[in-house]
């Protein structure tokens, strides 16, 4: 099925004639991809019009002096647009950064579907883009439990020179600096949150131990652990412990020189039910 407004080629596929012909166009504006990427996507139209003037390496990638055929040229541009759509400016890698710091690489099958071209045509276009130095790839694989190797999505990167070829070199440096800063700031926020969670957990654990110790000492003061438990079987009630925790803050304000154990002991002495 052909996208609306796209001319059908004799081979059965639809060669793109503009940036809007991508079946799954990039989201723009708030929450969308950076403006520099959409600008480059649009400027690739210039290569369709005059390939020798804009990307001569891609135009003569087949080693011949004649101009690259229109159908092949369109496939290369369409696939390159999709690479730009999923470009991570901080690393110049093609894919989706993950919240845990990882990176999701994209398969050629997925990129071909996004570009609206068949897989075989995408493979030929990818070969041309690689030979022209516009996309660099690194194959990846992993070993399964049976000891067999399984192929993974290749790591793909775009060269900064691609932006420079269309007059966007200085803008790219500025946007990459901002992207790297955002990445470092996000990592710092995650690290700080993790530290706060660990610190809070340790404080809560120490508070529980202090409360248990204060309760134990008071029980012994009342005549021994067993006797105190028989006389006050509900002293260890969770409600009492919650009241003790809430009381700690007030006691610390009144006696700032008291340590944790002294505060817990006083709070427990005030709140725990008496015989």
HSE, side-chain direction, 13 A CA sphere, residue 182: 12
| Polymer length in residues for the chain | 275
Specify the CATH number for 19-167; select among 1.10.10.10, 2.60.40.10, 3.40.50.720, 1.10.3720.10.
1.10.10.10
C-alpha 264/C-alpha 241 separation (Å) is: 10
C-alpha 238/C-alpha 229 separation (Å) is: 15
Residue carrying the six token digits 């006696």: 255
Q: Going residue by residue through the chain, which has 275 residues, state the pLDDT in tens, using 9 for 90 and above.
A: 333 333 333 333 343 444 447 888 898 888 889 999 999 999 999 999 999 999 999 999 988 788 899 999 999 999 999 999 999 999 999 999 887 778 999 999 999 999 999 999 999 999 999 999 999 999 888 878 787 888 889 999 999 999 999 999 999 999 999 998 887 787 677 677 766 777 666 666 666 676 676 666 666 665 554 554 444 444 445 666 777 777 777 777 777 778 777 777 787 777 765 43
- Which pTM does this prediction carry? 0.63
What ranges do the domains of the chain cover?
A: 19-167, 193-271
């Amino acid at each position: 099925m052909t996208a609306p407004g796209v001319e059908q080629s004799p081979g059965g596929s639809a060669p793109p004639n503009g940036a809007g012909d991508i079946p799954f166009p990039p989201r723009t504006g708030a929450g969308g991809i950076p403006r520099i990427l959409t600008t480059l996507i649009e400027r690739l139209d210039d290569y369709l019009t005059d390939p020798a003037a804009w990307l001569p390496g891609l135009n003569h990638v087949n080693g011949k002096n004649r101009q690259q055929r229109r159908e092949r040229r369109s496939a290369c541009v369409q696939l390159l647009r999709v690479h730009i759509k999923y470009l991570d400016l901080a690393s110049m890698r093609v894919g989706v950064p993950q919240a845990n710091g990882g990176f999701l690489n994209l398969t050629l099958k997925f990129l071909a579907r996004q570009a609206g071209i068949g897989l075989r045509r995408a493979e030929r276009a990818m070969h041309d883009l690689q030979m022209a130095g516009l996309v660099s790839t690194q194959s990846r694989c992993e070993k399964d439990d049976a000891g067999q190797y399984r192929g993974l999505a290749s790591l793909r990167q775009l060269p900064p020179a691609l932006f420079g070829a269309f007059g966007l070199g200085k803008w790219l440096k500025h946007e990459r600096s901002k992207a790297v800063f955002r990445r470092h700031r996000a990592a710092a926020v995650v690290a700080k949150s993790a530290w706060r969670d660990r610190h809070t957990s340790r404080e809560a654990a120490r508070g529980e131990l202090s409360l248990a110790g204060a309760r134990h000492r008071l029980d012994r003061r009342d005549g021994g652990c067993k006797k105190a438990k028989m006389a006050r079987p509900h002293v260890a009630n969770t409600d009492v412990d919650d009241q003790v925790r809430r009381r700690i803050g007030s006691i610390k304000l009144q006696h700032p020189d008291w340590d944790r154990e002294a505060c817990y002991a006083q709070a427990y002495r005030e709140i725990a039910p008496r015989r």
